[in-house]
Structure 1
Amino acid sequence: MRGAKRIDNSVIGRWWWTVDHATLACVGLLIGFGYVLMLAASPSVAARIGADRDLFILKQVVFLTIAGVIVVGVSLLSTTAIRRVALLGCLLALAATAYTLVHGLEIKGARRWIGLPMMSLQPSEFLKPCFAVVTAWLLTERRRTRHFPGMLMAFAVFGVILMLLKSQPDIGMLTVITTVFMAQLFVDGLNLVLVGVGIGSMVAAFVGAFFAFTHVRSRVERFLHPSLGDHYQIDTALQAFGNGGLLGRGPGEGRVKDLLPDAHADFVFAVAGEEFGMLVCLFIIGVFCFMVVRTLLKLLNEDDPFVVLASCGLMTGFGLQAFVNMGSTLHLIPTKGMTLPFISYGGSSALSVALTIGMVLALTRRRPKAMSGVLR
């Protein structure tokens, strides 16, 4: 009976026997944690701003449900379809990001969002996965097609993104996209001297941002000199981890969600630490690490350079986003408003991360040689 199921030639049947079940299960775990932590953190936040206590919960249920559908739906696509979706998505995200500079919502001095009826859309979130795939296509196509200016085009697209994000400004998102781009260039075989030049350029750009943007300078100075400025959010988050201890205070028993305005978003990891303890936090970290490492190990046996570069870029962005959120909450790095994938509240984040993982699952599906032509 088991063998009969393996020869199922339906679309769903082929998908089920070729997709990475372990990564798919990890996505389910993270979405599950997202639901649980929204139930724990969001009612207090909603009550504090005078909204219905179930507002954030209901919206996040919708966001995560759509995210789950996107993961499965995108993972059904062939590599050719993934390239087309990424190219179209990159063009739309670039246009929408440019639109925010003129008609975007301004929040805390930055124009990054477009107001929609049910949510505020942040188009730059979708640049991360789409740019990674487009870059992979440009870099590999230049090797397949003579005189194709793939490297030049990749740098041109990156330059446009750089100018748009600098103008919003969104230095954190720009840092993530730059790191993804540099990682892809390194994997593609960029000369080590040029890698050093790239790293040096990133350091120089960071120094420039430190002096050019007051909010960047403030966050770095407060990180390096705890005696300067307001550390209320970080101090409260660290205290929450201490209160949680090894096993946590129990579901609903935490206090950090009553104190932090972003307990359901940027500081949701602190809620997990206080209510469920260090062991659950380590488990969450382990799930993210497992997803990244498993994908990278699968790429060691991959023959298609496009799949290698695209998947590498996608998982670099995914892993870096998780690290930035948890590292900021634990005061390992300067604070940066970035969501924890699938767990923090946020529609744009949930949908863009779902697109990222859906693309990774599609690209890393097992492609037997007899089927490779069909799947690609």
Structure 2
Amino acid sequence: MNPALNVARPYMPRPGVRQAPAATFPRTRRQRLRIWWQEIDRVLLVLVLLLMAIGALSVAAASPASARRLSGSEGTLPDLYFFYLHLRWQFMGLVVLIGASFLPLQVIRRGSIILTGLMLLALVLVPLIGFEVNGARRWLNLGIRFQPSEFLKPVFLITVAWVLSWRLRDPDLPVIGVSAGLLAVVIGLLMLQPNLGDAILFCGAWFVLVLLAGLPLKRIGMLGGAGLAALIVAYLTYDNARHRIDSFLGGGTAYDQVDLARRTIMAGGWTGSGLWLGRRKMMLPEAHTDYIFSVIGEEFGLLVCAMVVLVYLVIVLRVVQRMIGEDNLFTLLSATGLIALFGGQAFINMLVNLQLFPSKGMTLPLVSYGGSSTIAQCFLVGLLLAITRRNPFLEREPLPGMERPL
């Protein structure tokens, strides 16, 4: 027998015969939930929930100070007013967090580009129709009150990650210049509010991304010099920057606030004075938001403050460890940008409370009270959980060339 006759021939449908569609395997809601639970970083999720629990207890401790300060002598607000509101924001944030963690990477990329455009438009509207709180015009009221810069942070970093990942297609594309142009637009809009703290945070997270994308050493020095020059120019021409830097160096209202925050955090010693037994917190201007870390120090002690720092540090290291061996540059840059944003804001807030950094009006992520900030931070963490999802049965190896800068 001719061996060629034994070769299997591919099936060819007869003309005019309608073929049945390929078999599909629809997943039920329970199956999708089971897959999500297997792929999600459960350690990271537990750490985030622990941080939110610490936040709820901390806002309960700080709420009487802020409620009495805002009520004045009339005492119209109950002591736990901000605590009850914070629980509501936390519940809404958890819904956003879990929902975002189900999103596929392609949806995250496309949605982030669209949301970046919408939030930039909202930032343009802030100086025109926004309302002012504590001397800064940062909020919009379009049926709901929100702070556009808070929601811009995560989606902008993902958009920048997408732009920088173009280098894999064409190394000659000016991706760093394009991303720097986007950053300049954001910084310009933030300075109109004024919002120096978020401007610095955006710059820091962007710098981390361009370093990871393979910024040459020569350009690193150039960017460092440009950053120093921009800070000097801001000090000479921008009243908000000059006021905060002068206050940090000594004198002024802002200096008094951070000095009071430092003395408050030290007042509790190693073990703290106990829940609702702190006294110095009653003098803090924003005990439930900007200076909540000081309230933790006074009422729960320096040991608990160290534990909070450790939780943030472990979250950052957990994401970094999760990205080891990642073969998708966009995924790597997105996760790194988000965790740099999250960790950077946390440590800046804590440094301000310790009088080691100028006052920025920046909350402690997932701990401080806030509507926009709580939901935006939960959205950020949800995106981070979605990006770091991994099939536990697949081993990931870096692509050739990924071990060196691209």
Query: Is 1:12 aligned with 2:33?
Result: yes
Q: Which residue of 1 aligns with 2:365?
A: 341
Select 2:94's aligned residue among 37, 43, 68: 68
The more displaced of 17-26 and 81-90 is 81-90
Determine whether 1:106 maps to 2:129: no
Please give the TM-score of this superposition, normalised by the length of structure 1: 0.90
| 1:110 CA drift (Å) | 2.8
Residue 355 (str. 1) matches residue 370 (str. 2) = no
Is the 1:257–1:264 Cα contact (8 Å) retained in structure 2? no
- Cα distance in 2, alignment partners of residues 174 and 242 from structure 1: 30
Matches within 5 A, 1:235-250: 235-250=259-274
Unaligned runs of 5+ in 2: 1-28, 397-406
Please tell me whether residue 300 in structure 1 is matched to residue 324 in structure 2. yes
Q: Are the aligned partners of 1:341 and 1:350 in contact in 2 as well (CA < 8 Å)?
A: yes
* 1:246/1:99 CA distance change after superposition, 3 Å: same
For 2:124 and 2:191, locate their aligned partners in 1 and report how far apart those are by CA, in whole Å: 11
Q: 1:108 and 1:275, CA in 2 relative to 1: closer, same or farther beyond 3 A?
A: closer
Deviates further, 104-113 or 170-179? 104-113
Which residue is 1:173 aligned to? 198
Pairwise CA distance, 1:346:
1.0
| 1:131 corresponds to | 156
Which region of structure 1 is more displaced relative to structure 2, 44-53 or 361-370?
A: 361-370
For 2:334, what is the secondary structure of its paired residue? helix
Letter in 2 for 1:340: L
Aligned-residue offset at 1:151: 4.1
In structure 1, how many angstroms separate the alpha carbons of the residues matched to 2:95 and 2:162?
25
* Residues 108-137 of structure 1: CA deviation (Å, up to 9, x unaligned): 44321113677x411011111011101111
Change in 2 beyond 3 A, CA 1:156/1:220: closer
Q: Which amino acid aligns with 2:141?
A: G
How many residue pairs get aligned? The number is 362
In structure 1, how many angstroms separate the alpha carbons of the residues matched to 2:252 and 2:137? 25
2:239 corresponds to 1:210: no
Secondary structure of 2:365 counterpart: coil
User: 2:301 aligns to what SS in structure 1?
Assistant: helix
Mapped to 2, the partners of 1:153 and 1:207 lie a distance apart of: 24
SS of the residue 2:137 aligns to: strand
Contact map agreement 1:136 1:310 (CA 8 A) in 2: yes
Cα deviation 1:203-245 (Å, max 9, x = unaligned)? 1111111112223222212322x3x334332232222222211
Distance, in Å, in 1 between the alignment partners of 2:132 and 2:320 is: 38
Whole-angstrom CA distance in 1 between matches of 2:209 and 2:215: 9
CA contact (8 A) 1:98 1:164 kept: yes
For 2:50 and 2:264, the matched residues in 1 are separated by 23
Kept after mapping to 2: 8 A contact 1:142/1:151: no
Aligned to 1:5: none
Residue 58 of structure 2 contacts residue 295 of structure 2 at CA under 8 Å; is this kept in 1? Answer: yes
Matches within 5 A, 1:44-193: 44-50=65-71, 51-53=76-78, 54-115=80-141, 120-144=145-169, 150-193=175-218
Aligned counterpart, 2:339? 315
- Secondary structure of the residue aligned to 1:10 is helix
Taking only the aligned residue pairs, the percentage that are identical comes to 36
> What is the rounded CA distance, in whole Å, between the counterparts of 2:314 and 2:159 in structure 1?
25
Higher helix share: 1
- 2:224 corresponds in structure 1 to 199
C-alpha displacement of 1:145: 6.2
